[in-house]
Structure 1
Amino acid sequence: MFLSSWMGVGLLILASLMMGLASSLGKKLSGPEKNSPFECGFDPQGSARLPFSLRFFLIAVLFLVFDVEIILLLPLVKTLSGDPLSWALGGAGVMSILLGGLSFEWHQGALNWTL
């Protein structure tokens, strides 16, 4: 047990040393072509630093919130498999949280996709 722990540490140190040597001894090619963003073989047409739309960010956050809520439904099948009433109540609770959040976001206007 003790030896296997030290083998993991040794492999980590060896990998770190190899990466450090590769980055310090490797070729360093730099120039305007290497530093420019790649657009499918075409020359860049404008700045690569464009402002990101806040609407996309809000939709992504909403997706993550509701995705995590749906993931909470999956363990209900395993943990509440004995009593169907408790499973139904637990599932209804999670679904009510989901629908309440969706209703709140809809009434706040976060789901209106107008430009």
Structure 2
Amino acid sequence: MKLIFTEYSAILIFFAISSLLSSVIFLLSYFLIPQKPDQEKVSAYECGFNPFDDARATFDIRFYLVAILFLIFDLEISFLFPWSLVLGEISIIGFWSMIVFLVILTIGFIYEWYKGALEWE
């Protein structure tokens, strides 16, 4: 247990100092600046013009689906790059575990494709 604490103590100290500093800065800015909201400050702002429509319009769910798929495949690349750098040094278990990971992602992508989730009307 002591070994783990000595290894991660710098990270814990950094986290504690950054949390404390950000909290102090937030609280100082909240209490020192006068809060006087008026109609201009709380209105929606669109490049200097009055808003044309409601700023809280709903989005189609397909935008979220595309964003989540982008994040998943972006995360896949972040796993693939270090794996490709150490491919000659890892065992056969490391190789096949990444192949299984890629097969699962491919099956999920094919499922999304056949379900029509990527079709845009």
Q: Same fold (TM over 0.5)?
A: yes
Cross-structure match for 1:74 = 81
TM-score (norm 1): 0.69
Cross-structure match for 1:97 = 104
- The answer to whether structure 1 residue 107 and structure 2 residue 117 are counterparts is no
Q: Of the two structures, which has the highest relative contact order with CA contacts closer than 8 Å and spacing of 6 or more?
A: 2
Q: In structure 2, what is the Cα distance between the partners aligned to 1:14 and 1:64?
A: 31
TM-score (norm 2): 0.66
Cross-structure match for 2:48 = 41
Q: In structure 2, what is the Cα distance between the partners aligned to 1:10 and 1:67?
A: 31
Deviations 1:23-60 (A, max 9, x none): 21212231111101110000112211111211101111
Q: In structure 1, what is the Cα distance between the partners aligned to 2:73 and 2:53?
A: 36
Q: In structure 2, what is the Cα distance between the partners aligned to 1:10 and 1:87?
A: 37
Q: Which amino acid in structure 2 is aligned with residue 103 of structure 1? A: I
Which segments of 5 or more consecutive residues in structure 1 lack a partner in the other structure?
Answer: none
- Identity, in percent, stands at 35
Query: Is the radius of gyration larger for structure 1 or structure 2?
Result: 1
Which segments of 5 or more consecutive residues in structure 2 lack a partner in the other structure?
Answer: 1-11
What is the CA RMSD across the aligned residues, in angstroms? 3.3
Q: In structure 1, what is the Cα distance between the partners aligned to 2:109 and 2:102?
A: 10
